[in-house]
Amino acid sequence: MPVTAIVGAQWGDEGKGRMVDWLAQEADMVVRFQGGDNAGHTVVNRLGKFALHLIPSGIFNPATACIVGTGTVVNPETLLEEMAALEAAGVALDNLWLSNRAHVILPYHRQLDGLQEAARSGSRIGTTGRGIGPTYADKAARFGIRLGDLIRPAYLRERLQLHLEQKNRTLALFGAPPLDLEEVTAGCVRYGEILGARIVDTLPRVRAAVERGDNVLLEGQLGVMRDVDWGTYPYVTSSNPIVGAASAGAGIPPTRVDKVIGVVKAYSTAVGAGPFPCELDDANGERLRLVGAEYGATTGRPRRCGWYDAVAVGHAAWLNGFTTLAVTKLDVLDGMRELKICTAYRLASGEVIDWVPDTPDMQDATPIYETWPGWSEPTTGVRAWDDLPKAARAYLHRISELAGVPIETVSVGAEREQLVTVLPGEADAGRTAPRHA
Ligand code: IMP
């Protein structure tokens, strides 16, 4: 399929980076289309283990053009750190390009992120503190600085003058010292000098790749439940992780996106505050965290863990029009006696719904579960559908059935090869195991 989008179907951290790493072996181009270095894609391959924050996970394949797209926000400082870490591991970065239209995260955006979070006191979002919200806010308010500005010093100074007048007013409200125009300009010019050769108009490259019929992957960050429009606002990020944003953020007509892979973890996790109905505050939750190594790749925060939420994934399936699902981390469930799948929410009013309501209702929602038998056999060595334990096949089949989307792959470990490719129709064979409850 020439143009494939890979997006998160839950609260983020579904394992998109891992899937992109796998698919990028065959890809001519990978485009990150939204978000910034708040992302934390853990990729394990023969070169080592990497926590990628902004650079597309296709970077390990030198033949894959990797584009940090227009819809992203770029912190030059952390980008340079990430580039240095990859170079130190022997990854050549000749295939990395940055959109001149992507917006720049500057140090005071991070500062403002922290100040705004502190000001929210009791209702903190739990942001990653990476300056994502303030940078997208500047973009929407049309005061933003873009990567292309960094390589035009005179224009940059003009933009910064306007920009800093605004920023200094805001910083003053927080009692923070003002920013110096010359100092900020000098810092930005330095970034421009280092990154300049990679800052290009990415659109002609992306367009040519699509028109040639190249394999193009569109890599999303986070998941639908953190979407600024469709997630649990205000406990969301400041961009749209859904596939509609892939078209805008990468510069590809929606009608040219051929395939949309929804990445779902075999259970639920979330970092940050906000409603998370299936959260487990018990030994099962702790077990998922430990066995699944559920700690934020960007912040190191322990992730909130819970049962699989088919309501949230159904929301994602509709908004994204998934053509297939990639289920990740199935092996983490090995050895659990029984598993639960949330199929509906009971609201505080008593009403039972099978869709995601707005945040105040979601906050009080209690999950309604089905119970499924677990399996004791390890799945980490399994590479074929038929070799999965019967109960695992039944569980996966139910996930697929509830989402209304066929499963294409199932990951059973972090290594690139620990993947079960599901042949069309094969997942239906799992329908045999009985549900008990
Ligand atoms: P921000 O994107 O840093 O503004 O954070 C907004 C919300 O998204 C918070 O709940 C964060 O914990 C969450 N978030 C941001 N990036 C990630 C990620 O890569 N994985 C999981 N959660 C994230």
**Rounded Cα–Cα distance for residues 13 and 302 (Å):** 12
Provide the pLDDT for residue 432. 40
For residue 227, the CA-to-ligand 1 centroid distance in Å is 10
Residue-wise pLDDT for 87-105, tens only, equals 999 999 999 999 999 999 9
Q: Where in the chain is the domain with CATH 3.90.170.10?
A: 1-101+201-437
Q: Where in the chain is the domain with CATH 1.10.300.10?
A: 103-196
**163 is an active site residue:** no
For residue 299, the CA-to-ligand 1 centroid distance in Å is 10
**Rounded Cα–Cα distance for residues 395 and 431 (Å):** 9
H helix or E strand, kind and range, residue 220: strand 216-223
Q: Which CATH superfamily is domain 103-196 in?
A: Adenylosuccinate Synthetase, subunit A, domain 2 (1.10.300.10)
Pocket test residue of 38, 135, 294 for ligand 1, highest count of atoms within 8 A of CB: 38
**Rounded Cα–Cα distance for residues 16 and 20 (Å):** 6
Q: Per the structure block, which two tokens stand in for 136?
A: 């997208």
Ligand 1 neighbours by CB, cut-off 6 Å: 12-13, 38-40, 125-128, 130, 132-133, 222, 226, 235, 237-238, 271-272, 298
Tell me which residues of the chain have a pLDDT lower than 70. 1, 428-437
The answer to whether the peptide bond before residue 277 is cis (omega within 30 degrees of 0) is no
Provide the pLDDT for residue 426. 81
For residue 273, the CA-to-ligand 1 centroid distance in Å is 9
Whether the pTM exceeds 0.85: the reply is yes
Provide the pLDDT for residue 428. 61
Residue-wise pLDDT for 124-144, tens only, equals 999 999 999 999 999 999 999
Pocket test residue of 226, 232, 279 for ligand 1, highest count of atoms within 8 A of CB: 226
**309 is an active site residue:** no
CATH number (3.40.30.10, 3.90.170.10, 2.30.30.760, 3.40.50.970) of 1-101+201-437 reads 3.90.170.10
Provide the pLDDT for residue 226. 98
The CA distances from residue 278 to 157, 207, 306, 370, 414, in Å, are 49, 42, 5, 12, 24
